[in-house]
Amino acid sequence: MTDPNSRDLLPQGTTTEAQLVRVARALAPVVAAHAERTERERTLAEPSAEALREAGLFTIGTPRRYGGHGAGVRAAADVCAELATGCASSSWLVGIVYGAALFASQLPDEVRTAIWKSDPDAVLCGAANPSGSVTAVPDGLELDGRWPWISGIDHASWVLLGIVREDRGGPERGLALVPASALTVADTWHMAGMRGTGSRTAVASRLFVPDEQFVSFAEIAEGIGIRRHPGEARVIFPLSINLPLVGTGVGIARGALERVVRDLAGGKRSVSPLHALTAEAAPHQLNVAQAATLIDTATLHLRRAADEIDEAARAGRRPDLETRARLRMDGSHAMRCAREAVSLLLDTAGASSFSDDSPLQRAWRDIGTASRHAALSVETSRELYGRVLLGRSLPHTDVI
C-alpha cells in the first residue's frame, strides 16, 4: 500500500470506532515502510507522522465537540494493536496522544477551546511522573526543571507536565498544560528499543502556568471531567490512559507471529539434521502454537479490561478498588504474555532474526522496552491486586 490520500481513508460523516480500527489496519504497512527511518532518526519519520495525522488517528481521544473522534479505550487499544504490527513507535505515539487528549479533556472549556478550536489536529503529549520545581505565584504556578521521557514531544503543540503543587490540604499531584513552544527539548533519548518515539526531555525555566491549566489526579479520579462537560465519557484514571499502550505490545507480538508463520510456511529450511524444513519440527510447531495462544490470552485480557472501562466510563462511574486492581493486572499480564510470545517466536526464528536489518530484532527490542514501562509493571500490578484480594492496606493514592 502506498501513502494514503489523507482523510480519504475515513468515510464522510460520523466515523465509527470499527472504522477507525480498519483505518489503522490499512495504515500499518504505510508506517512499516518508514519504520527503519523512524528508528534511525529516533523520532517519528515525517511521512508516518503525516499519514497518521491525515488519517485522523492523532484525534481519536479529542472530544467530538472539537472535531475529534472521542473514541473509547477499546477502540484506542485496537487501533494501537493494528499499527504496531507495522511500527511499534508509531503505535505508541498514537496511544500517548490519545491519553494526553483524555487528560486535557478534563480541563475547563476555555482551555479546551484554546487547544483545539484553531487546530482540531493538535497533538498533545506529556509526562505524568512529577518532576521539576513548582512555585505558587498570583493566578497560577511557575515551573522550573526537567521532565524526562516525553514520547512524541517533537510533534506536539501542547505538553502536560507532571508536578506536585502545595494545596491547602497538602501536596497535590497532577498535570500542568503548557505550550510546547515554551519548552526547550534536550535530546536524551538513546534507548535499545522504542527508539522512534522520540521520548526526550522537556526543560522549563520560570514558565508561568495559569491556575485553570492545572488538573489534579484526585480531581480526575473523582470525575471532574464529566461534571465540567456533561455528556462526555468519564476518564477512569489511570486505566483509560494506560490500556491503549498495552495494545502496542499486543500488536508487536502479532506482527512477529505473522512474520515467523509466513517464513516457516514459505519453506524455511531447518538447521536440524532431523528435518528438512523448520515447519516439520514438532518443537517449533509447539513454539508457534504457544506463542499464538499467549497472544490470544493477551488480546482477551486487554479487551476485557478495555470493555469494562468503556462501560463504566459511559455510565459515569468509577469501578471499585478491587475491580481497578484486577483491570490493571489484566493490562500488565497482557503485556507480559506478548513479551513471552515474542521470545518463543525468536527461539524458532533463530539467530538470523537478531541481525540489525531484521524486523524481528526490532520487535524483540521494542517489546522488551515497552513492556517494562512503569505503568505496565506486572510486578507492581501483581502486588497491588494481591493486597486488595487479601484485604491488606494500601497507601492513599489516586493512581490505582
pLDDT value for 241 = 97
Beta bridge partners of 175: 162, 215
Structural domains in the chain, CATH included, are 6-116 (1.10.540.10), 124-216 (2.40.110.10), 239-389 (1.20.140.10)
2's grid cell: 502506498
pLDDT value for 6 = 42
Rounded mean pLDDT for each run of 10 residues along the chain, 400 residues in total = 47 75 98 98 98 98 97 98 98 98 98 96 96 97 98 98 88 97 98 98 98 97 97 96 98 98 91 87 95 98 98 97 97 98 96 93 98 95 96 85
Cα–Cα distance, 56 to 120 (Å, whole number):
10
Residues 6+ apart with CB under 8 A from 399: 217, 237, 238
CA 141 to chain centre: 28
pLDDT value for 4 = 42
306's grid cell: 478495555
pLDDT value for 327 = 98
Calculate the CA dihedral of residues 343, 44, 47, 365 and round it to 10 degrees.
-10
233 DSSP 8-state letter: P
Checking 231-235 for CB contacts under 8 A at 24+ apart, the result is: 232/63, 232/70, 232/105, 233/70, 233/72, 233/310, 233/313, 233/314, 233/316, 234/312, 234/313, 234/314, 234/315, 234/316, 234/317, 234/318, 235/102, 235/103, 235/105, 235/106, 235/313
Cα–Cα distance, 164 to 177 (Å, whole number):
13
pLDDT value for 317 = 97
**Residue whose grid cell is 508487536:** 252
pLDDT value for 10 = 55
Q: What is the pTM of this model?
A: 0.95
pLDDT value for 170 = 85
